[in-house]
Homo-oligomer: A and B are copies of this chain.
Amino acid sequence: MADERIWTAALVVIGDEILSGRTQDKNIAQLAAWLNVQGIRLAEVRVVPDRQDAIVEAVNVLRARNDYLFTTGGIGPTHDDITVDAIAAALGLPVVHHPDAMATLEAYYASRGGLTEARARMARVPDGASLIPNRVSGAPGIRIGNIFVMAGVPHITAGMLDALTGTLEGGRPVVSGTIGCWVAESEVADLLRDAERTHAGVAIGSYPFFRDGRTGANFVVRSPDQALVDRCLADLTRDLEADGRVVVAGGI
């Protein structure tokens, strides 16, 4: 168990619109949840501007130390879409027009005014790449080595992840269980620490909140081992109740 192989992924979110505060990112949470199901852990995220040197640095560091690297954003047809060039530069590869992507875009735009030069930009890939189907709009995602280049618009990204489901090697999915308690987390800090130590292999997160004028916290137990999660939650519940606390299974 201790030697179980852990698969990790990193995400580079590419976009001035996230760093300017204009757009609230939704791809971090979406990718994280999807990766959990694939048995892959999201280990690190970087948000970088639409600037080639920033993208190259993040991509090269993170692809080397993770099993998989995902990027979101910057694969559209306009001047601020520089992801493909940056990834190609990071890998030292030329950029080519992928014939299947050209065919897909030609079909997609046949009834939409035709495939212009700007639109054909969306068929550009680092040489040797394969495509990730885009079931929502015309432009496909791109796979090159362990890098997966996806859209920035969350529902298009969702479609690409759907197309990738079950195709990536991973380990056992991380499962989690939650209990809630109307308590200030500071009152049960020792109890939580002890529970994590006693149940080797779990991680316990404590997430306080203030609601309806009362202080509470949810405690989330995570591990790839469902039986271990269940045992830890049961012990934690017993200890909290022995302490006179009211525990809500599933969280508050």
Residues of A within 8 A of B (CB): 13, 16-26, 28-33, 35-36, 41-50, 54, 76-80, 112-113, 116, 118-119, 121-122, 137, 153, 174, 176, 184-187, 189-190, 192-193, 196, 203-210, 220, 222
Contacts and interface: CB of A to CB of B under 8 A. Distances in A.
B176 A79 contact: no
Contact of A36 (B20, B30, B45, B220): B20
Given A116-B186, A210-B137, A28 B42 contact: no
B17 A220 contact: yes
B25 A185 contact: no
Contact of A206 (B13, B25, B78, B203): B78
24 contacts: A19-B42, A20-B36, A20-B42, A20-B176, A21-B29, A22-B205, A23-B29, A23-B207, A25-B28, A28-B47, A43-B49, A44-B48, A45-B46, A46-B46, A76-B186, A77-B186, A78-B192, A78-B193, A78-B206, A79-B196, A80-B205, A118-B186, A118-B190, A153-B208
